[in-house]
Chain A
Amino acid sequence: MEISKEQVDFKRKRWIAAASIALFGLLLFFTLFSNTLQSVALPKVRTGTATSGGLAYTLEGSGVLRPIKQAELPNPAGWQVRQVLVKEGEAVKAGQRLVLYDSSSAERELEDEIAQLDKMYIALEAAQDQYIASTVGGDELGSREAKRELAARQIDLSVQRRKIEGLRERLKRQRELTAPFDGIVVEMNAVEGLASAGQPDAVISSRDFGYQLDLVADGELVDRLELAAGQPIELRIAAAGKQPERSLKGIIDEMTDEDSRRAGSPEGDGGETSSAVRQKRLRIHVADSSLRGGEQVSVRLKRPSSEKGWIVPNEAVHREGESKFIFTVDQQRGALGNVFVARKVPIEASASNGRETMIPPDRLYAGDLIILESSEPLQDGNRVRLQ
């Protein structure tokens, strides 16, 4: 009885000892490995640091230079081209002949009309003779009739004269194409021996008035760059043929409002939010004697913003309704070593260009890690795992 009681007691103690070891072992295991176990389930984030400085606003655009004054000269009568006197790219003076046309049919018509006139003179003489005969013969009635006849012939005669005058003038005008002003032959479509088909035979552009370029840019960007009418602007002309790339001076001639464009925001979370972006049209005037018009030119304006702050990539900026925010990584002291926690930083007053966003300098400290990308949507205070 006594022995069996001791045995029971011994067994019980062994069982309790085993339970204690199991309990402490379990707690020890989790103490050592809970952080590891937990971090497997944490959202993984990619981070970067913000750079201090100003935001660079860049305006980029390209277009084709167009002459401000340009004349399209059509074939005046649709006649065949007899001779082309100038080539494309040639400089011409006002009044210089460019194209001669085959006017033989009009000349023939003119000769016919002149012959008709001669015939009318003869008829007039016949009427005069009849009048004289009637008057001498004393035929009162015949004399009056002959007088009327004579007057009508004279009217016909002057009509015919005017007609010939008109024909002559037209012939002179339509026989050739002349330059309306000093300029350059931009286009020459006339081909000898053919009548023109639809297109103007020649296009002349004036040198004296210069060239212009139309660019459309976001209004906000234009404001940030502090562009205004009358300001000089630098253009680059692309390399074409033997001509190397070179720069040109231009002047902003005028700025007009354009229709807004709808833009999807690339940094928006969930769903494409589109907003109207105000646009402006810039008309840039270029005066350069070496230009011919039609050149491809590009504009690249870069200007740092006047205010300074932290520059973060746009992908780090999140949007929630109207407000914007970023997440930074906070290092906190945890029970078992340091832990990283996502901290939400609101950035209401921020400026942005296409790639980067500037946030006020008081929102971050130097060296703060900014979360650029996360494997899961984050909330303020979430623990995260750094990649």
Chain B
Amino acid sequence: MAVRKGLLTAGLGMIGLLLLLPIAITFTHSLMTEQELTIDYGPIGQRTEATETGADTFVNLKWLPDKVTLEQYGKLLVYTPNYLLMFWNSAGLVVPIIVGQTAVAALAAYAFAKLKFRGRDSLFLAYLLAMLMPFQVTLVPNYIMADKLGLLHRPGAVILPGVFAAFGVFMLRQFMLHIPYAYIEAAKMDGAGHLRIFLTIILPMVKSGMAALVVLLFVDYWNMVEQPLIFLDDPFKQPLSVFLSRLTGEWGTVFAASMLYMSPMLLLFLYAETYFIQGVQWSGIKG
């Protein structure tokens, strides 16, 4: 038994390390100089004279930089103003989506979980179907609708579908189902209306669920590429996730940009870690 447990721990530990590997590489490489990166990664995907003659085509993967430097971060912050603009573009898209979707989802989830009305379950099923549909399926209707609303090439075209996405509703409903109906009945007996019940009883109880939702949404929308690529034609209005894929010229800058790009997510997750783990456990959803 103990051996099995030990093996399991070792196996899971290995998988955990493997998952951490890209982040660790990104971090250490962001501290390398451009020259070092060019030497190590020069011939990736390129047919050079060296590779044609049958020389070694493998890259020289190194863990630690020969010389630790913050040069790449400086270059990124001072010489790549696009990066900073895109960062704020990302924030400008993600924050309204998260605030909006959390608010809409909490209200809708309350209705689906705690109100009794005709057609509730079939309506919820329709909602679930919308969630299950891949993004690419709803892309064209979304595009047409954004065009009709006059939102095309504006941030609203990305924000609106995000605010009314079904995932938050589903997740928060699962949370609210766990809340015994007795709380609500007791409140009703004391003369509380639905809004009061929602604000003072339900919301505090699903705090961890909300935190989990915020983290999941943040990860989801901070990384979105297709929506802004399609709905926003002006490259200076697109978010960082799109821009990052275009930073191909200089490897060092790409690594540094990735690190900076990752940091808000990391900070948010660390901040809401306890709620997040709780929330995911409770709702039975895995991110």
By a beta-carbon cutoff of 8 Å, the part of chain A in contact with chain B is 9, 12-13, 16-17, 19-20, 23, 26-27, 30-31, 34-35, 37-38, 333-336
Contact = CB atoms under 8 A, between A and B. Distances in A.
A19 B267 contact: yes
Q: Which 4 A-B pairs have the closest CB atoms?
A: A335-B85, A335-B82, A30-B77, A31-B84
Contact of B81 (A16, A20, A23, A34): A34
A34 B267 contact: no
Contact of B271 (A17, A31, A333, A334): A17
B117 interface: no
Contact of A31 (B79, B88, B263, B274): B88
Given A30-B77, A31-B85, A34-B81, 9 more contacts: A16-B270, A20-B267, A27-B88, A27-B260, A31-B88, A34-B84, A37-B78, A335-B81, A335-B84
Contacts of B82: 334-335
A35 B271 contact: no
A23 B264 contact: yes
A333 to B, nearest CB: 7
Nearest to A334: B81
Contacts of B87: 27, 31
Contacts of B267: 16, 19-20, 23
A14 to B, nearest CB: 10
21 contacts: A13-B271, A16-B267, A16-B270, A23-B263, A23-B267, A27-B77, A27-B84, A27-B87, A27-B88, A30-B78, A31-B81, A31-B85, A38-B78, A38-B81, A333-B236, A334-B81, A334-B82, A335-B82, A335-B83, A335-B84, A336-B85
Nearest to A32: B84
Contacts of A19: 267
A30 B270 CA distance: 25
Contacts, number: 51
Contacts of A31: 81, 84-85, 87-88
Q: Is the interface of B mostly helix, strand, loop or mixed?
A: helix
A44 to B, nearest CB: 18
Interface in B236-287: 236, 260, 263-264, 267, 270-271, 274
A22 to B, nearest CB: 10
Contacts of A335: 81-86, 236
A16 B271 CA distance: 6
Q: How extensive is the interface on chain B, given as a class?
A: 10 to 19
A334 B79 CA distance: 12
A365 to B, nearest CB: 24
A228 to B, nearest CB: 59
Contacts of B83: 335
Nearest to A20: B267
Interface string B82-100: 1111111000000000000
A161 to B, nearest CB: 109
A333 B235 CA distance: 11
Nearest to B86: A335
Contacts of B264: 20, 23
Interface in B214-244: 236
Nearest to B269: A16
B212 to A, nearest CB: 16
B236 A34 contact: no
Contacts of B84: 27, 30-31, 34, 335-336
A299 B28 CA distance: 76
A336 B263 contact: no
Nearest to B243: A335
Contacts of B86: 335
A19 B260 CA distance: 13
Interface in B15-62: none
Nearest to A339: B81
- The listed residue with most A CB atoms (<10 A of its CB), out of B78, B86, B87, is B78
A55 to B, nearest CB: 41
Interface string B61-84: 000000000000000011101111
- The listed residue with most B CB atoms (<10 A of its CB), out of A17, A20, A30, A31, is A30
A34 B82 CA distance: 10
A27 B89 CA distance: 13
B130 to A, nearest CB: 33
A331 to B, nearest CB: 15
A35 B88 CA distance: 16
